[in-house]
Each structure stands twice: as C-alpha cells, then as structure tokens.
A and B are shown apart, each in its own frame.
Chain A
Amino acid sequence: MFYRKLFNRNKAKSYIWIGFFAIIAIFPLFAGETRYVPLLVTIGLNTIIALGLVVLFGYSGQLSLGHATFVGVSAYITAYLSTALHVPTILSLLAGVSGALLVGLIVSPILRLKRFYFTISTIALNLVFFSLWKGLPLTGRSMGINGVPPFSLGIITFNNILDYYYLAWALVALSMWITGNVINSQFGRGLRVLSQDDASAQVVGINVTYSKIKAFLFSVALAGLSGAVGAHYLRLVVPDMFTFSYSIGYIIMAIIGGVQSVWGVLLGSMLLTYITEAFQVFVRFRDIFYGLALIIVLIYVPSGLIGILQFLPARFRLATSTADFNPVKEKNPMQKESISLKQQNNVEPVLEVEGLSKNFGGVQAVSDLNFSVRCGQIKGILGPNGAGKTTIFNLISGLMTPSRGKIVFKGQDITRYPPHAVARQGIARTFQVIRPLADLSVFENALLGWERWFKVGFHDIMINSPKIRRQEAEARRCASENIELVGLKGTEAKMFAKLPVGQQKLNQIARALTFDPDLLLLDEPAGGLNDTEIKNLAELLRTLVKRGVCILLVEHNVNLVMSICDEILVLDFGEKIAEGTPKEIRSNPKVKAAYLGE
C-alpha cells in the first residue's frame, strides 16, 4: 500500500522535477569554474528555444527551419536598446521579446501555407533577416553589437557566469512547466488533431488558424526570451549567431527528445549541445549529422513528432491514460441549461434549409433542397450512392460553401460561417470515412468534444490555473460518461486508429456527445457495425432523442432508418424526391422507382 502511494504517478513526476533541479542547483558547487558551467548555460538557453518548437512542430506539425530569426530579432533589440540607448536591461529584454512577437505576428500569414511551403518561407525569412543584420549600419553589419551590458534586475547585476547559470536554469524550469501545461491541455490535444486533419479539429469548434498562430507565437516568445538573455550573457550579438544552421539545430534538439514530454526536449538539447561544444572534431561533421537526422525523422514522421507516438505502446504515453483521471461528481451547469433550452424549443424547427444547391463544375451535387429538422426528432436522409447526402452534411457544417441557398440554425443564418463557428453554434457531426487521428486515444478523442465548453484564456492554459483544472475535470467526467453510454467502456486507453471501424464510429459519437450538441449530424454510423451493434446503436439514438438532441442521420441501412426515424427525406441525384414518415416513404412510388429499383 505504502509502496503504491509513494509511486503514484503525480508524485513520481514531482520527485523527478525536484530531484533534477536540485542537482542543477548544487552542480556548480562541484563543477566550480570548469567548462561544464558555461556549457550548461548554453544547454539551458537552447532548451528554451527547443521547447517552443516542440509545441510548434511536435504538436501543430508546422516545421520551421527559421527560428533563429526570432532568437536574433530579440537579441538585437535588447542589445541595441541597452547599448546605444542605455535602456535598463530588464526593459530592453522585454522589448526584445515583444519585438520578436511583433515580427512573428507580422509574418504569421505564412501559417496559412501548407506543409513544405511554410517551411521554405521560414528559411527565406531567416535569410532575409540574416542579410538585413549583415547590411544595416544600425545592427553593426558583420561586426554586430559589442559591449552589451550585463543583465540586471534593479540593484542585482548578473556579472558572474554563475549568475547566468541560475538565471538560465530558472527560465528553463519555468518554460518546461509552461510548455508541459500547454501540450497537456485541451489546446495541446487540439493541435495534435489539426496537425493531422483540419476538418476533425474544425467540427468540434477549434479555430484552426488561431490555434496555429497561438502555437507559433508561443514558440516565438520562447525563442525571443532565450535570444535576449543570450545577448546579455555573451555581451555581444553578431549575425553569425543566428544562421539557418542554428535553426536546424534547434529543430533537431526538439526532434531527438521531444516526443511527448518536456524532459525529452531537455535531453535532446543536452545531448546535441554537449556533442557540438565538447568535441570540436564533431563540428566538421555537424551538418552531415543534422542532415541525416532530419532526413530520417522527416521521412518517417512528416507531420510532426506526434506521429512517432503510434509506434509506442500505450504505457509509454502520458496524457492518454486514465490514470490522472479523477471523476468529479458535480453536474455541469452549462449542460443543464442547454438541455432545458432544447425542451422549450420543442416545436420550432432547429435547422432550416432553404433552396440549398451545390455544384462542382458542371455537376449538380445538391439542387434546390428544402427541409427542416425539429427538436426531439430523428430525421433520416436516404438515397443511393452519389445522391449528395454527405455533401449536404459538408454544406451544413461549413466544410463546403453552398453555391446557392440558405442554412438557418436556431434562427441564425449560418450559411457562410466557417466550420468551427458552425460547430460552436451547437452542431456536432461524425464522418463516414474515418479521419486519420493516429495518435489519439479513445478517451482523448471523446474529450475533444468538450472544446465547445472550455472558457479559458491562453494564460490559464500556460499556468494550468484552477479554472482550467476544474473545467478539465468536468470534461473528463463527461467524456468518460459518454464513452460508457456508447458502450466503449474499458477501451479508453486504446488508440483510436487501432479500433475496428464500428468502434471508431461509436467513438466519434462519444466525441459528438461530449460536445453536447443541439443538432447531431451522423454520417453512416451503422457502416461496419454488426447486427447486435446496430441494435445498440438504435437504442442509443433513441436515448439521445429523449435527452433532447435532434439528429439528422444519413444511412444506407434502410431498416435502421425506417425503424428509428420520425421523418425521412429521400434524395436522388441531389434532388428531393420524397419527404415524410417512414410509412409514407415506404409506399411512395417515386421512392420505389428510384431507390428500391422497382
């Protein structure tokens, strides 16, 4: 009993923290003024940069090969302000970080660029700044800025190497803690999803653009912090400190260790910095080594480190396990409110679709479609392959823009809303073709739906504030309830990607339920399920309707649709050919002709 208590996961974590930083704190007592102390300062400063890149590349999948730019921008600003204008160093340091953030914000449109287009622009950015620093008289051309004053906080001046040692490692501890909070939050989960599939992130209400910008600026801020401290530590700033080569080095540090834990990043930067600094011979082979490391990693995990996770057994993974999961027996007030709202609006149509059309080139996928969905209703959409069923879902959820027509949800025209905004109005959906979410566990996937209810700022995420912990506990409770509801209890820690298709579909429903939607769009939920599972599904859908969720269902399984739907819409070649109760549909001659082939 005692043994188990001692090795409780969270406690083990804090022992590692305390143990490691205690060693760091007393290390100089033994090492004295040896070369290890300056080496560790460099390691610390590199670690801070690499931590930011773990969020940017490891989680959001954006490969930047130009982060030395932001290290440099910040270093030059603080060096110039404190040297030429004698600004107090604490202010110039803050100005440096803000300057890096400003440059980051200005260039943030490059986040719109996909894949290697983003990477190549970060390289270009690095070269632009490099040639500016080399050319501008203001930055001292190739000579750079010399005689940068030491960092000082009021009366304390950091003169000694040891002062910088402790400063750097205090910042490392802080950055590690903050980065850990960011990657283990709902925000971090969201990044992992969008790095693999934009649409999956959008349909739970994640604003992909903003999330990418946040991750980018986070990495820029850490790079800037390290650059500014480095300028005062080295007392000089020259263009050669911020070349493309360094950018690659930072990425490799992040790659070597930063799979999922901030400790890995620390290890990576220790290893790489030590090898580069300690063995001068290695310098000659450095680029070859960097090149090989990049090639290998980028071939096998092109979309961020998170891809490595699929090769790891579940027990090596942190955030996926339910070990940290403490159920809280507290009802979510928001949830109650939304349910009662649903019951009130029982008669009103929740969703109204008017004259909806979509053509792809000359092909009319959906034409002039009108229908509505009322609360407490399951509405089914039937139609042969290519009748435009999935297109309707894509139009409603904003993944496609209609050519003509109007979509009104809860009295609001959502026709031109981007997908994440549609979701935030209260529409959840599942996909017919399972989207690739290689590294998410069943539990995490269900948790993702809670995005709609997270009401936190980025500062809450960074410090893991009580507010966010409360909401996270609530999310975990809700996700775990919904996993049980769809019948996936016991599979929480399994990888979503490794489930059979039927269970993946149920997991998607669990995610949609955690979202607590007003309208649920289900795209072929019964595909890949066996008869028992289909019966359970039908039962589940009935339960949901009783709870006040309205459901729009696209399904091939005619029996299922006939047995659970209140109303059915039949499509053929994008046009409505019939609408009515199952009984009416069954006897409709048009339907028989088009759909049943009679």
Chain B
Amino acid sequence: MELLIQLILGGISTGSIYGLIAIGYNVVYNSSRMVNFSQGEFFTFGAMLVLTFTGGLASSAALAHLPLPILPLVIAILISVMATVLLALAAERLVFRRALKFSPFAASNASFGMIFLLQGVYQLIFGRDYYFTSSFMKFQVQFMGATLASQAVLVLLTAIGIVLILWAYFFRTSQGLAMRAGAENPDAARILGISTTNLVRLSFIIASVIGALAGIVIAPMVILGYDSGLAMTLKAFAAAILGGLGNVFGAMVGGIVLGLMEALAGGYISTLYKDAIVFSLLILILLYRPTGIFGKSA
C-alpha cells in the first residue's frame, strides 16, 4: 500500500512535467497547426543552463572554460529561462516561420531536424557528460506513510503555479483571448486584425518558458545530458495526444495519466523497461486512441 501511494505520488509529479511540456505542444499547435517535436529541446537547454550558471558543468564542456560567474539559483533560473526564450525565438524566426509558409506539415517535419541541430549544438557547448544534480532544497513531506522528496513537491507546486498563470492569461487577458480566437478559427482571427505571425511567436515564447521551467525543476530527479530532451519530447507528445491535441489543459490530465502509468509500470514490472513501456504506449495511443481520453474513439 505504501509502495502504491509512493508510486502514485511520484507518477503525479513526473506526469505533471509531461503535462507542462505537452501544454507547450498545444499552445504552438493552436497558433500554427504545427507539432513542434523540438519542444523537449527547450527543456534540455533550460536545465543545462542552470547547471552551467550554478557551476555544475564538467570541465570537459566548452562553456565551462568561459569565465562565467557562479550565480545564486534564482538568478540563474531567470537568466536561463530568458536565454531559452531567445533560442525559441531564433528557431521560430529562422526555421519555423519559413517552413510554415509551405505548410504546418513541413514545419512539423522540420522540427525533427531541429532536434538534431539543437542536440548537436548542446554537445558542443555543454559536452557529452551526464549529470545527477542535487535538489534545490532539503526537506521531505510525509503523506499516508509515503515520503515525498522536496524536489517532487517543488515540481508539483511549479506545475500548479504555471497552470494557474496560464489559465489567468488565457481567460483574463485580451492577448489570451486573441490566442484562443486564433486557435478556434485562424481565418476569422486574421480578418479581425489578429496577426497570425505574432500569435505563433507568442506561442513559442510561452512554450519555451514552460519548457525551460519544466526542465529546471525536474532536472534533479532525472539523469541530465545533452540528449535528455528526446525522451521528454516523446513522452510529452504521448501526453498531448492523450489529452487531445490542441486541448491546452487536457494535456495536464494526459501528462498525469501517463506519469502514473509509467510509475506503476516501473514499480510493478521493472524500472529497466520503463521507457520501453511508455514508448510502446505512445505507439498504441496513436493507433487506437488518436483523439485522446476526452475525444471520441477512432
């Protein structure tokens, strides 16, 4: 019983990270109808930058040779998030905007190339080492006999915070309203004077902020390396499909469902095959449940 609760708590916290990244997928999808498969690379960039600014990078990495000051965690996080936003804007401006002129399909395909391009860049600047980083704070929470590590609590709080802020943004600001309008009916939105290009750029900013924050808070709970983003990309995509592609807040439900399944599979079957199980699940979901939990069956 304790194991079960432990697994459920762990599943919810990693699942909320999948949910966050899946929200990034949806925000971009809603503004442009493209699926950005390099979404997970924002995650890596944010996490690796915080590692860099807090002095955790191995000496083999190129960035470790720059005379970078060691910053307090909060400032490191702020700078990393801003840098990730810049990266996303560059990707949007240089690649995706061009690709979207052809079709959302071309842009989605090009994002596969973006995975490689960014991982190549990360290898050069961050090196090819893998890291186990330490938690931000040291405390534990007891819950029905199970222990919740401090980082898991932080992850949950971050996820809840982001969802609340997003909700307020989408439903309480005029810009959020424009984004929802663009998602509902791009042509009508354009006629009303909402610039689609601006919406796409905005969606990339939102997606990269969420992605970077997700990477930063989950980093101490995973093995971090230049290629960690790919697994995240796939898992978050599974979450986005489960929640229904385009359904922003459904993604969080999809993420948590996936996180729970992964945790239970890891706990009761084997942690070795956890990834194999989740990725097989992705294929099965695509084949048999392409419209998600809330959608009609295929």
Instruction: Give me the interface of A with B, judged by CB distance under 8 Å.
Output: 63, 65, 107, 109-110, 112-113, 115-117, 119-121, 123-125, 127-129, 131-132, 134-135, 244, 248, 284-300, 302-303
Q: Check B116 against A298 for contact (C-beta < 8 Å).
A: no
Which one of A248, A291, A300, A302 has the greatest number of beta carbons of chain B within 10 Å? A291
Q: B102 contacts which of A109, A123, A293, A302 (Cβ < 8 Å)? A: A302
Q: A117 contacts which of B116, B234, B276, B286 (Cβ < 8 Å)? A: B286
CA–CA, A289 and B105, complex, Å: 22
CA–CA, A119 and B230, complex, Å: 14
Q: A287 contacts which of B105, B120, B234 (Cβ < 8 Å)? A: B120
Q: How far is the CB of A123 from chain B (nearest CB, A)?
A: 7
Q: Check A289 against B287 for contact (C-beta < 8 Å).
A: no
Q: How far is the CB of A12 from chain B (nearest CB, A)?
A: 36
Q: B286 contacts which of A113, A132, A285 (Cβ < 8 Å)? A: A113
Q: How far is the CB of B200 from chain A (nearest CB, A)?
A: 15
Known A124-B279, A284-B124, A291-B115: A113·B106 in contact at CB below 8 Å: no
Q: Check A135 against B113 for contact (C-beta < 8 Å).
A: no
- When distances are taken between beta carbons in the complex, the residues of chain B under 8 Å from A135 are 270, 272-273, 276
Chain B at the A interface: mostly helix, strand, loop or mixed? Answer: helix
Does B114 sit at the interface, judged by CB under 8 A?
yes
Interface string of B92-104 (1 = CB under 8 A from A): 0001001100110
- When distances are taken between beta carbons in the complex, the residues of chain A under 8 Å from B103 are 302
Q: How far is the CB of B244 from chain A (nearest CB, A)?
A: 14
Enumerate 16 A-B pairs (CB-CB under 8 Å) in ascending A order. Answer: A110-B286, A124-B279, A128-B280, A134-B272, A244-B230, A287-B116, A288-B124, A291-B120, A294-B113, A295-B117, A298-B106, A299-B99, A299-B102, A299-B107, A299-B110, A303-B105
Q: B35 contacts which of A116, A244, A292, A296 (Cβ < 8 Å)? A: A116
Within 8 A of A (CB), among B86-137: 95, 98-99, 102-103, 105-110, 112-121, 123-124
Q: Check B283 against A121 for contact (C-beta < 8 Å).
A: yes
CA–CA, A65 and B233, complex, Å: 14
Interface string of B226-244 (1 = CB under 8 A from A): 0000110010010000000
Q: Check A124 against B234 for contact (C-beta < 8 Å).
A: yes
Q: Check A292 against B283 for contact (C-beta < 8 Å).
A: no
Q: Check B124 against A110 for contact (C-beta < 8 Å).
A: no
Known A127-B234, A131-B276, A287-B123: A112·B287 in contact at CB below 8 Å: yes
Q: Check A302 against B109 for contact (C-beta < 8 Å).
A: yes
CA–CA, A284 and B231, complex, Å: 22
Does B213 sit at the interface, judged by CB under 8 A?
no
Q: Check A291 against B118 for contact (C-beta < 8 Å).
A: yes
Known A294-B116, A295-B95: A125·B283 in contact at CB below 8 Å: yes
Does B42 sit at the interface, judged by CB under 8 A?
no
CA–CA, A129 and B275, complex, Å: 10
Which one of A123, A124, A244, A302 has the greatest number of beta carbons of chain B within 10 Å? A124
Q: Check B117 against A292 for contact (C-beta < 8 Å).
A: yes
- Knowing that A127-B231, A290-B120, A302-B103 touch, tell me 18 more A-B residue pairs with CB under 8 angstroms: A63-B112, A115-B105, A115-B108, A116-B109, A121-B283, A124-B234, A124-B282, A128-B279, A132-B276, A134-B272, A287-B119, A288-B117, A288-B124, A293-B113, A295-B99, A298-B110, A299-B107, A302-B105
